[in-house]
Amino acid sequence: MARTPSRTPEIPEPARDISRSIGAILVEQGRLNPADIEQIQQVAALRGLRFGDAAVQLQLLTQHDIDLAMAQQFNYPVLPRGGEHGVADDVIAGYLPQSEMVEPLRALRSQLELRWLSDSDRKVLAIVSPERGEGRSWLAANLAIVFAQMGKRTLLIDADMRHSRQHLLFNLDNSVGLSALLTGRAGRETVARIHPQLRLFVLPAGILPPNPQELLGRPVFDVVLNLFADQYSVIIMDTPASTEVADAQILASRAGAAILLARRSHTRCAQLSATMLNLTQTNVNVVGSVINDH
């Protein structure tokens, strides 16, 4: 069952609780009992191992169990993967933040902080690419997560009102969303907070309308973006393929800044050049380009 978007009160970020031991957290989670703790501590002392390494050697825990406990100890929320309340496999920065695959996303975040956030008054960024299947939704979702993990209040908007995906990635109800917001049939309560200790909020696309381009071109969209820009440190927009429809160009123009995405062995150079030209001709600040292997 998908989560229903709701307006969740801001919850202060608690300080990291490193005074709690990994063992205590794992007992609380039901992964260990006191007898297990004693056995692990004995083996750790005898072999000169850390608690987690000894637990893994005894096959009482997996490395993933240890990583989850450490994430809780340092107030670094890990999103559940799959199931009724979990995120999709593509949202790797959420459920496996320590993965090496997430490091390029953190590097991109750092570059954006230096080249975009530090110089921009309006922190709205569109993810743009020429064709479908190039990974815009994947990049938008994971980039939003790594910004939120840094403590920035981040809003992810699914502005692809033709082939929306963010509600699938985050397991959200898509019966209301951006389309309802722009037609006055819903308010900001359509925004869903993903985790109480992660400052990540998602606005799904909602029911796909018959006139997406007209909705995005209306002045009300600028009003909505300006309202959100006052409330969030970073706003990331997922967009449709730029060569299929003009929606992406409209969205990038509304945002004012964009990342140009290409997929290795998939994106055609001519299409990429045409997309870049369209963006620059409408005075969009293309803050960088990304080649996606995903």
* CATH code assigned at 229: 3.40.50.300
**pLDDT confidence of residue 6:** 46
Total domains present in the chain:
2
Domain encompassing residue 116:
92-292
Asked whether residue 132 falls in the same domain as residue 63, the answer is: no
**pLDDT confidence of residue 5:** 52
Asked whether residue 69 falls in the same domain as residue 140, the answer is: no
Domain boundary among 38, 73, 108: 73
Q: Tell me whether residue 10 is in a domain.
A: no
Asked whether residue 111 falls in the same domain as residue 244, the answer is: yes
pLDDT in tens, the chain (294 residues): 565 554 444 444 444 444 468 888 888 888 899 999 999 999 999 999 999 899 999 999 888 788 777 776 666 788 989 988 899 999 999 998 888 999 999 999 999 999 898 877 789 999 999 999 999 999 999 999 999 999 999 999 999 999 999 999 999 999 999 999 999 988 878 999 999 889 999 999 999 999 999 999 999 999 999 999 999 999 999 999 998 888 999 999 999 999 999 999 889 999 999 999 999 999 999 999 999 886
Q: Tell me whether residue 79 is in a domain.
A: no
Domain boundary among 42, 73, 104: 73
Q: Tell me whether residue 140 is in a domain.
A: yes
**pLDDT confidence of residue 150:** 92
DSSP string, the chain: -PBPP--PPP-PPPPP-TTS-HHHHHHHTTS--HHHHHHHHHHHHHHT--HHHHHHHTTSS-HHHHHHHHHHHTT-----BSTTTPBPTT-HHHH-TTSGGGHHHHHHHHHHIIIIITT-SS-EEEEE-SSTTSSHHHHHHHHHHHHHHTT--EEEEE--SSS--HHHHTTB--SSSHHHHHTTS--GGG-EEEETTEEEEEE---SPPS-HHHHHHSHHHHHHHHHHHHH-SEEEEE---TTT-SHHHHHHHHHSEEEEEEETTTS-HHHHHHHHHHHHHTT-EEEEEEEE--
Asked whether residue 69 falls in the same domain as residue 123, the answer is: no
Asked whether residue 141 falls in the same domain as residue 236, the answer is: yes
Asked whether residue 96 falls in the same domain as residue 67, the answer is: no
Question: Taking the model in full, what pTM does it have?
Answer: 0.81
Angle made by CA atoms 80, 27, 77, in degrees to the nearest 5 = 30
Asked whether residue 40 falls in the same domain as residue 168, the answer is: no
Q: Tell me whether residue 17 is in a domain.
A: no
Asked whether residue 269 falls in the same domain as residue 134, the answer is: yes
Q: Tell me whether residue 210 is in a domain.
A: yes
